[in-house]
């Protein structure tokens, strides 16, 4: 198969959507396969939505400044994603694409392969790094068509939630890195760059090979877990794994040599305390302060210290008990290979594999471990120091202070590492917010407006 990568500006339909009293009108260019040699034409396609107002402004008044491109991915759970239209999200609220059009941006919604996909021969086609390779290929398609599409391809802002937040972080941290080149070549991606201008990341489920130890650093000591209607108490074996994982986190964190907002070294002692923990506490206190500023009474929270109407400290252990544990240990690289991430790190012929030496050692499923390069390509932390990776200029990271899908340490490390390389990161742990995304479209588009001025 050899598919033309040229964008056809005449192939569109005009749509109108009215939600919550707000009306948008746009041209929808859909079902565009974005690679020349696709593996999966259902997922390797994208949609482009352009505000009709852009064409009205352009009529007879050339040249009109091209609007930035908002690039929301639809990946959840590291599963395959399909392009999505401006409209309602799963919770029945207008989605981020709707707000993007409302604010005059061009929206590009790429599909991507994900875990579990198989071709007609039963070969797994969506294992890592397929999902990030596809996102990059979509960016390359846009850049290849920079003169044909109405959006400004030097102002691409990617966005995603959870696994999608991780992909957005990868797009922002690994621009043009040669590690992905052979994969892009294989699927016939346009020969272009794939760096983006900015990345919006909601609760990124990332840094997977260190996420188990971070989880136990945070939730270790709590053995009752609450995951939807799956509730219980961890077994003796799981508690043992938790204790061991917890000891691995401080040496890993210290090896990153991160610095905080005043240039202080972020470290953890063997007991898990230290300036890195203080760094997270500070963001939680800021979050509590903002919530109190909105008029919420937080005095009933026994873990929060409030003095003169300001949150000034917290009891960490009580905060963790208040939040509760969701996943059993190990949270991501499951010793029975039953976590979504085990499937992400499968191979063309092996459905599920480990991705940490720890879980390989304690496997209960005779699991194999994924190749080092496959694991490396899925972690933005591996590219932040690497000069061959062009970083986005701006990141916006939001990780709900009530999230239990992954440790708050994961987004805190990503933030500190990016700031250490001069990236402007807008980081908050929004109060009371669980594992979720796109809950603050007004603030999101205010940020986009600011960074695109």
The site for ligand DHB (CB under 6 A) is made up of: 76-78, 162-163, 205, 340, 405
- Collapsed DSSP state (helix, strand, coil) of residue 312: strand
If the CB atoms of residues 280 and 378 are measured against ligand DHB, the closer one turns out to be 378
* CA 173/CA 384 separation, integer angstroms: 6
Residue linked to tokens 């690497």: 386
Nearer to ligand DHB, 55 or 227 (CB): 227
**CB closer to ligand DHB out of 174 and 406:** 406
- Minimum Å gap between C-beta 77 and ligand DHB is 4
Q: State the minimum distance, in angstroms, from the CB of residue 59 to ligand DHB.
A: 42
Rounded Cα–Cα distance for residues 222 and 146 (Å): 52
Least Cβ distance, residue 343 to ligand DHB (angstroms): 10
Question: Measured from the CB of residue 163, what is the shortest distance to ligand DHB in angstroms?
Answer: 4
Residue 104 φ/ψ region, left for φ over 0, alpha for ψ in the -120 to 50 degree band, beta for the rest: left
Starting from the edge strand earliest in sequence, which strands make up the sheet with 13-19, in order? 13-19, 22-33, 45-51, 106-110, 68-72, 152-161, 198-202, 394-398, 424-428
Count Cα atoms within 13 angstroms, Cβ side, for 260: 17
Q: Which is nearer to ligand DHB, 163 or 214 (CB)?
A: 163
Contact of 402 with 434, CB cutoff 8 Å = yes
Coil vs helix vs strand at 286: helix
Q: Report the alpha-carbon distance of residue 416 to residue 403 in Å, rounded.
A: 19
Pairing state of beta strands 45-51 and 106-110?
A: antiparallel
Least distance CB 344 / ligand DHB (angstroms): 8
Min. distance of Cβ 122 from ligand DHB in angstroms? Answer: 25
Q: Which of 426, 377, 439 is nearest to 207 (CA)?
A: 377
For 417, residues 6+ apart whose C-beta sits below 8 A from its C-beta are 256, 258, 381, 384, 385
Q: In 210-283, where do the E strands start and end?
A: 224-227, 230-233
Residue nearest to ligand DHB (CB): 162
Q: How far is the CB of 164 from ligand DHB (least distance, A)?
A: 6
Q: Closest approach of Cβ 326 to ligand DHB, in Å?
A: 8
Could you tell me the smallest distance in angstroms from the CB atom of residue 114 to ligand DHB?
10
Terminal-residue alpha carbon distance, the chain? 42
Residue closer to ligand DHB (CB basis): 163 or 381: 163
CB nearer to ligand DHB: give 165 or 367: 165
- Identify the residue whose tokens are 């309602």: 88
- Contact partners, residue 351, CB within 8 Å, separation at least 6: 124, 343
Is the Cβ of residue 44 or residue 206 nearer to ligand DHB in the bound state? 206
- The residue among 101 and 170 lying less far from ligand DHB, judged by its C-beta, is 170
Instruction: State which residue, 80 or 340, has the beta carbon closest to ligand DHB.
Output: 340
């Amino acid at each position: 198969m050899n598919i033309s990568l040229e964008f056809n500006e005449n192939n569109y339909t005009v749509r109108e959507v009215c939600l919550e009293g707000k009306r948008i009108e746009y041209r929808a260019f859909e079902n565009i396969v974005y690679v020349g040699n696709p593996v999966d034409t259902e997922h390797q396609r994208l949609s482009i939505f352009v505000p009709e107002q852009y064409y009205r402004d352009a009529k007879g008044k050339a040249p009109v400044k091209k609007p930035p491109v908002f690039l929301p991915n639809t990946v959840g759970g590291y599963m395959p994603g399909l392009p999505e239209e401006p409209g309602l999200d799963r919770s029945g609220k207008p989605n981020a694409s709707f707000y993007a059009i409302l604010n005059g941006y061009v929206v590009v919604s790429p599909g991507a392969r994900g875990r579990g996909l198989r071709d007609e021969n039963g070969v797994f086609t969506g294992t890592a790094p397929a999902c990030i390779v596809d996102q990059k290929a979509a960016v390359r398609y846009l850049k290849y068509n920079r003169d044909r599409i109405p959006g400004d391809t030097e102002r691409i802002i990617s966005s995603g939630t959870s696994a999608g937040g991780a992909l957005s972080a990868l797009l922002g941290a690994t621009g043009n890195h040669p590690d992905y080149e052979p994969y892009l070549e294989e699927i016939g991606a346009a020969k272009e760059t794939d760096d983006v201008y900015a990345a919006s990341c909601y609760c990124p489920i990332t840094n997977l090979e260190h996420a188990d130890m971070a989880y136990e650093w945070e939730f270790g000591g709590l053995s009752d877990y609450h995951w939807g209607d799956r509730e219980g108490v961890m077994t003796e074996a799981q508690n043992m794994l938790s204790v061991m994982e917890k000891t691995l986190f401080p040496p890993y964190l210290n090896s990153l040599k991160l610095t905080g907002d005043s240039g202080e070294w972020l470290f953890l002692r063997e007991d898990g305390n230290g300036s890195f923990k203080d760094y997270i506490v500070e963001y939680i206190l800021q979050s509590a302060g903002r919530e109190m500023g909105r008029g919420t009474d937080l005095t009933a929270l026994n873990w929060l210290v409030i003095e003169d109407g300001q949150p000034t400290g917290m009891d960490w252990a009580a905060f963790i008990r208040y939040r509760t544990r969701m996943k059993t240990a190990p949270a991501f690289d499951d010793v029975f290979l039953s976590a979504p991430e085990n499937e992400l790190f499968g191979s063309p012929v092996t459905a599920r594999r480990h991705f940490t030496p720890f879980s390989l050692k304690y496997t209960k499923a005779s699991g194999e471990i994924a190749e080092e390069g496959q694991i490396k390509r899925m972690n933005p932390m591996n590219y932040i120091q690497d000069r061959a990776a062009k970083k986005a200029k701006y990141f916006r990271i939001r990780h709900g202070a009530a999230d239990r899908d992954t440790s708050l340490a994961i987004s805190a490390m990503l933030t500190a590492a990016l700031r250490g390389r001069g990236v402007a990161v807008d980081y908050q742990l929004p109060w009371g917010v669980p594992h979720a995304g796109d809950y603050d479209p007004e603030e999101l588009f205010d940020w986009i407006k600011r960074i695109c001025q």
